[in-house]
């Protein structure tokens, strides 16, 4: 429960375990003898005491009845997961990973991490994969989050941080274009900044194929056909050029590559963009006027614009739009990405992404390898090279990848073409999963390791602003639950030697001190950040390259992070979605989240309060489509793509395009939306095309 009383000394200051806002909260012992916790409001800069239902109900998951409390091992005789001791479970994991490595080579062992892991755990997991296992086959579910925006940031700005400014700046700018985000349901406490923006006289433009709760607050709502966001961004920039509204002085002094980008955009004239996107030309002109007439302005993108096989170019087009209008590298203006997962930012900064080392260093860079190898006490040549991206790794399971260690992820529900990925997991020689709950992925494992969760462990997270935060343990874990750091320490010893285990401390602050050294001099430099500073300053913004450095709340005000200090325009052109509609699959499916559930639902689907609010999957469709297939609200419908099918009740509403259906992706079973989604990958970011695939929608039997 959420208590709005002043925070007493007995309260542990911490942060919500869910999204990348990482809202501040306090935890105190609940009245009664059950040992539970109450949530107490905390005046933290990001959320100012506000929490959504997920945050206020988060302590429910600490209940023994909802979470794992002892290791499980699949017994050969029964084929069932049954309780085991930690010694037996860890020895089995080490023996099986070691035998696969010895028999097939290091790259036959894969590691799959999660965007909810603390910085310390993400760092240790990447180090474990490369130093102990010696494998290149490591990636994480954050690849499915903001990898397209990250790649576009790197191309244009030379560094990737979700927001290059604090959230508070959103309320103080003049106009915000929000592309592909439904903040009202995905990050409710952040909606206050949109509301304050409008109260301050600013304007809000929302781009979404659905009239969401967020779109209802907009001054202008553009509803493009899913998969055409790139054309829309290019069309707006075409109008900027045609109307003479480009900021030529800014372009000349602070950017490069404008001539090629401008030439490419001129092929996307308004009438063509209207035919491609379905957005009328007058609305395109209105959007340009609102944005350019404001003294300061921002573009914020999220998964709706990014989860495409052309997501990097789509974000690149929005960055071009900001650069051409002089809305970057200036106070209260710029481009930003609304990272989704709790530590989606920090999780990729410090080594669990296939091509990166701590500090945002590139694994293929000899200097980066030398620096990190020096911190780790190994030879640079011993570090493996870049590995496969998340979907490519999952797709290789049971082939040349024979064994997999999963920490904090549930790809059975979250991966595209999910039924196929479930099959690949079943084809493994060995699967070990470390998690808080018995997720759908853990149910397939040979060994399940119960690990601590947010209120039982201390560690840092990096939120969507690049603010490094500290979550403090508020209570001890159950007797037979261990931290992920303890798991890695034990496996390092069993797979290597006692000296190997010493390289994997179990104290998170000790791990963070090593992370500081490993990140020093990198793009994401944490070397000036300490636990004490974080607590004293409500978080510290990276880069922070030395102890006396104030941190960097706002990037790019003096120069961009490229070699010459200039932002780079990138020449891009629209291309159709990987999969277009036809007579057999005439409707476009797009997917997303709902307010009461989170990601794969592995945790939130266990909380009664949240399940009551959002009990299951559904198919949102327009009345015209519902009429064509003869269904009414609540009738069961089957959605079929070229990869699979899902069945759920219809939710008939005029708030969606008539050529589009929407499904939330939080559920397994018959309503698993990711049975349908397309694993076509962006060539740069390797992001799958979650947000647009061709489907057929038909009446089914009664809803189950």
Q: Is residue 399 part of a domain?
A: yes
Mean pLDDT to the nearest integer, 302-322: 97
Closest CA to 322 of 336, 335, 337, 305: 335
Residue 311 has pLDDT above 80, yes or no: yes
Are the CB atoms for 90 and 490 separated by under 8 Å? yes
Looking at 285, 317, 338, the residue that finishes a domain is: 338
Answer yes or no: do 395 and 327 share one domain.
no
The token pair that represents 87 in the structure block: 């010694």
Q: In terms of domains, do 322 and 354 share one?
A: no
Exposed / middle / buried, residue 550 (Cβ in 10 Å: 0-12, 13-18, 19+): exposed
Q: What end-to-end distance do the CA atoms of the chain give, in Å?
A: 32
Q: Mean pLDDT, to the nearest integer, of 382-392?
A: 97
- Residue 65 pLDDT exceeds 90: no
Contact indicator for 117, 343 with CB cutoff of 8 Å? yes
Residue with tokens 């490595």: 101
Q: Is residue 538 part of a domain?
A: no
Q: Please, which pLDDT band fits residue 536 given cuts at 50, 70 and 90? A: very high
Name the phi and psi angles at 440, rounded to 5: -60, -30
Supply the pLDDT for residue 300: 98
Residues 286 and 357 in one domain: no
pLDDT of residue 33: 53
Nearest partner of 194 among 213, 211, 208, judged by Cα: 213
pLDDT of residue 4: 42
- Give the tokens for residue 307: 């989860």
- Return the CATH number at 671: 2.40.40.20
448 part of a folded domain: yes
Question: Could you give the percent of the chain with pLDDT greater than 90?
Answer: 93
Q: Are residues 599 and 691 in the same domain?
A: yes
- The answer to whether residues 81 and 25 belong to one domain is no
Task: Give the tokens for residue 158.
Answer: 């030379």
Q: Is the pLDDT of residue 8 over 90?
A: no
Q: How far is CA 127 from CA 258, 320, 680, in A?
A: 40, 36, 30
pLDDT at 9: 52
Instruction: Name every residue whose Cβ is closer than 8 Å to that of residue 537 and which is 6 or more positions away in sequence.
Output: 551
CA distances (Å), 348 to each of 301, 345, 395, 486, in order?
Answer: 19, 6, 21, 21
C-alpha distance from residue 378 to each of 334, 399, 486, 515 (Å): 41, 30, 22, 16
List 447's β-bridge partners, or say none: 73, 432
For residue 526, CA distances in Å to 119, 530, 539 come to 11, 8, 12
Same domain, 138 and 160: no
pLDDT band at 20; cut points 50, 70, 90: very high
Cα 126 to Cα 139: distance, rounded to the nearest angstrom: 9
* Residue-wise pLDDT tens digits, 601-644: 999 999 999 999 999 999 999 999 999 999 999 999 999 999 99
Smallest CA-to-CA distance from 443 within 75, 63, 62, 80 is with 80
- Mean residue pLDDT across the chain: 95
- Segment 486-490 mean pLDDT: 97
CA–CA separation, 31 vs 63, rounded Å? 15
d(CA 448, CA 438): 8
Is the preceding omega at residue 543 within 30 degrees of 0, hence cis?
Answer: yes
At 7, the pLDDT band (50, 70, 90 cuts) reads: very low
Residue 391 pLDDT level (bands cut at 50, 70, 90): very high
Can you give the residue range of the structural domain that contains 451? 72-143+343-508
Alpha helices in 40-190 (DSSP H): 53-56, 86-104, 119-127, 147-157, 183-186
Q: Is residue 514 part of a domain?
A: no
Number of domains in the chain: 4
- Of 338, 366, 386, the residue at which a domain comes to its end is 338
pLDDT tens for each residue of 318-364: 999 999 999 999 999 999 999 888 898 988 889 999 999 999 999 99
| pLDDT of the residue at 2 | 43
CATH code at position 446? 3.40.50.740
Q: State how far the Cα of 226 lies from the Cα of 208, in Å rounded to an integer.
A: 8
Q: What integer pLDDT is reported at residue 1 of this predicted model?
A: 36
Same domain? 222 vs 294: yes
Q: Is residue 560 part of a domain?
A: no
pLDDT digit string (tens) for 443-480?
A: 999 999 999 999 999 999 999 999 999 999 999 999 99
3-state secondary structure of 13: strand
Residue 187 within any structural domain of the chain: yes
Q: What is the 3-state secondary structure (H, E, C) of 69-98?
A: CCCEEECCCCCCEEECCHHHHHHHHHHHHH
How large a percentage of the chain has pLDDT more than 70?
Answer: 97
Whether the pLDDT of residue 652 is over 80: the answer is yes
Please check whether residue 48 lies inside any domain of the structure: yes
CA dist list (Å): 697 to 287, 340, 628, 703: 33, 29, 10, 15
597 in Cβ contact with 604 (< 8 Å): yes
Report the length, in residues, of the chain.
704
Is the Cβ–Cβ distance between 138 and 113 less than 8 Å?
A: yes
CB neighbours of residue 608 within 10 Å:
10
DSSP states of 591-617 = EE--TT--TT-TTGGG-HHHHHHS-S-
Task: Please tell me the predicted confidence (pLDDT) of residue 438.
Answer: 97
Question: Considering only CA atoms, which of 274, 266, 268, 289 is closest in space to residue 224?
Answer: 274
Measure the CA–CA gap between 523 and 150, rounded to whole angstroms.
Answer: 13
| 238 and 299, same domain (yes or no) | yes
Q: Which residue, of 462, 491, 508, is where some domain finishes?
A: 508
pLDDT above 80: residue 686: yes
- 93, 119 in Cβ contact below 8 A? no
Helices and strands, number each (H, E), in the chain: 24, 31
Same domain for 355 and 464, yes or no, is yes
Q: Are 26 and 35 in contact (CB under 8 A)?
A: no
Question: What is the band of 496 on the pLDDT scale with cuts at 50, 70, 90?
Answer: confident
**CATH code assigned at 261:** 3.40.228.10
Does residue 326 sit in the same domain as residue 179? yes
Task: Tell me what the mean pLDDT of segment 178-199 comes to.
Answer: 96
pLDDT value, residue 497: 72
- Which two three-digit tokens encode residue 317? 């087009």
Q: What is the pLDDT of residues 558-606, one digit of tens each?
A: 999 999 999 999 999 999 999 999 999 999 999 999 999 999 999 999 9
Dihedral Cα 498, 500, 506, 512, nearest 10 deg: 150
Parallel, antiparallel or unpaired: strands 175-179 and 356-357: unpaired
| CB crowding 187-212: b at 16 or more within 10 Å, else e | bbbbbbbbeebeeeebbbbbbbbbbb
Predicted pLDDT at 499: 64
CATH number for the domain spanning 33: value is: 2.20.25.90
Cα(457)–Cα(466) distance, integer angstroms: 21
Average pLDDT over residues 292-300: 98
Q: How much is the pTM?
A: 0.96
Q: Where are the alpha helices (DSSP H) in 129-228?
A: 147-157, 183-186, 191-199
Helix (H), strand (E), coil (C) string for 429-498: CEEEEEECCCCCCHHHCCEEEEECCHHHCCEEEECCCCEEEEECCCCCCCCCCECHHHHHHHHHHHHCCH
How far is it, in rounded angstroms, from Cα 331 to Cα 323? 14
The reply to whether 249 and 111 lie within a common domain is: no
How do strand 540-541 and strand 220-222 relate by DSSP bridges? unpaired
Same structural domain, 328 and 347: no
- Distance from C-alpha of 663 to C-alpha of 604, rounded to nearest angstrom: 17
Q: Quick check: is 492 in a domain? A: yes
């Amino acid at each position: 429960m959420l208590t709005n009383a002043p925070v007493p000394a007995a309260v542990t200051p911490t942060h919500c375990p869910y999204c990348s806002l990482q809202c501040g909260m306090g935890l105190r012992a609940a009245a009664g003898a059950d040992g539970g916790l109450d949530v107490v409001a905390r005046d933290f800069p990001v959320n100012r005491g506000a929490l959504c239902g997920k945050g206020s109900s988060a302590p429910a998951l600490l209940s023994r009845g909802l979470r794992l409390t002892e290791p499980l091992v699949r017994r050969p005789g029964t084929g069932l997961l049954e309780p085991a001791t930690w010694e037996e479970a860890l020895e089995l994991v080490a023996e099986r990973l070691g035998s696969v490595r010895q028999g097939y080579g290091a790259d036959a062992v894969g590691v799959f991490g999660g965007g909810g892991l603390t910085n310390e755990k993400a760092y240790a997991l990447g180090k474990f994969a490369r130093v102990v296992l010696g494998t290149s086959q490591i990636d994480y579910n954050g690849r499915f989050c903001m990898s397209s925006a990250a790649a576009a940031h790197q191309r244009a700005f030379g560094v990737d941080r979700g927001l290059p400014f604090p959230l508070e700046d959103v309320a103080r700018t003049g106009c915000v274009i929000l592309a592909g985000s439904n903040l009202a349901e995905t990050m409710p406490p952040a909606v206050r900044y949109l509301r304050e923006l409008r109260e301050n006289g600013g304007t809000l433009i929302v781009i979404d194929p659905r009239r969401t709760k967020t779109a209802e607050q907009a001054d202008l709502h553009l509803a493009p056909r899913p998969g055409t966001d790139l054309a829309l961004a290019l069309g707006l920039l075409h109008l900027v050029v045609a109307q003479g509204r480009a900021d030529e002085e800014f372009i000349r002094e602070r950017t490069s590559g404008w001539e090629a980008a401008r030439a490419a955009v001129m092929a996307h004239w308004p009438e063509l963009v209207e035919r491609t996107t379905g957005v009328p030309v007058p609305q395109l002109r209105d959007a340009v006027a609102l944005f350019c007439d404001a003294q300061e302005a921002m573009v914020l993108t999220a998964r709706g614009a990014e989860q495409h096989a052309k997501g990097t170019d789509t974000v690149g087009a929005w960055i071009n739009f900001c650069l051409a209008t002089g809305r970057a590298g200036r106070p209260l203006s710029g481009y930003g990405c609304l990272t989704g997962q709790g530590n989606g930012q920090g999780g990729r900064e410090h080594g669990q992404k296939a091509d990166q080392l701590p500090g945002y260093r590139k694994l293929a860079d000899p200097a980066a390898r030398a620096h990190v190898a020096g911190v780790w006490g190994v030879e640079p040549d011993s570090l493996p090279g870049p590995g496969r991206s998340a979907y490519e790794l999952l797709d290789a399971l049971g082939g040349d990848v024979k064994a997999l260690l999963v920490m904090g992820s549930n790809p059975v529900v979250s991966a595209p073409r999910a039924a196929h990925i479930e099959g690949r997991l079943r084809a493994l020689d060995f699967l070990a999963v470390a998690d808080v709950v018995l997720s759908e992925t853990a149910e397939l494992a040979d060994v399940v390791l119960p690990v601590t969760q947010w209120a039982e462990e201390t560690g840092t997270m990096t939120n969507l602003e690049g603010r490094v935060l500290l979550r403090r343990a508020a209570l001890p874990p159950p007797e037979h639950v261990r931290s992920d750091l303890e798991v890695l320490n034990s496996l390092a010893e069993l797979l290597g030697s006692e000296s190997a285990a010493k390289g994997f401390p179990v104290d998170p602050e000790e791990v963070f001190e090593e992370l500081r050294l490993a990140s020093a001099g990198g793009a994401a430099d944490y070397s000036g950040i300490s636990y004490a500073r974080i607590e004293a300053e409500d978080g510290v913004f990276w880069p922070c390259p030395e102890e006396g450095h104030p941190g960097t709340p706002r990037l790019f005000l003096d120069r961009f992070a490229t070699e010459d200090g200039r932002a780079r325009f990138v020449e891009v052109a629209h291309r159709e979605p990987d999969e277009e509609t036809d007579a057999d699959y005439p409707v476009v499916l797009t997917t997303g989240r709902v307010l009461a559930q989170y990601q794969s639902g592995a945790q939130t689907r266990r909380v009664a309060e949240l399940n009551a609010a959002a009990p299951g999957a559904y198919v949102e469709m327009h009345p015209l489509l519902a009429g064509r297939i003869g269904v009414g609200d609540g009738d069961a419908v089957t959605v079929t793509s070229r990869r699979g099918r899902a069945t759920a009740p219809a939710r008939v509403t005029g708030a969606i395009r008539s050529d589009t259906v929407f499904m939330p992706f939080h559920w397994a079973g018959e309503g698993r939306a990711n049975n349908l989604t397309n694993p076509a990958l962006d060539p740069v970011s390797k992001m799958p095309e979650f947000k647009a695939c061709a489907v057929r929608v038909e009446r089914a039997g009664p809803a189950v």
